[in-house]
Amino acid sequence: MENINTNFIEIILPILAIVLILFIVIKIFTLPINIANNKNLAHNEITTIKILTWCGLFAGITWFIALCLALSYKEQNRNY
């Protein structure tokens, strides 16, 4: 019985650790998009930030540009 518990822990814990790390990485990666959406930016500004964020997968510097743009664009007041 002890061997079964040990094998379970040795298999499940690394999988849970990997899933947690991937979740954190995805949340950090999509941070510029979330900031832009929360600030109610114009559609074209959000599109620019999304493109630069996803280009950050290939060229990491564009992610930083997207983050700077998301933080620097002015929030728009929208009346619904």
pLDDT of 38-75, one tens digit each? 998 888 999 999 999 999 989 889 999 999 999 998 87
Average pLDDT score, the chain: 86
**pLDDT for res 51:** 94
Tokens of 59: 């060229």
Question: What mean pLDDT do residues 13-26 have?
Answer: 94
**pLDDT for res 61:** 92
HEC secondary structure over 19-80: HHHHHHHHHHHCHHHHHHHHCCCCHHHHHHHHHHHHHCCCCCHHHHHHHHHHHHCCCCCCCC
pTM of the prediction? 0.73
In angstroms and rounded to an integer, the radius of gyration of the C-alpha atoms of the chain is 19
pLDDT bracket for residue 9 (50, 70, 90): confident
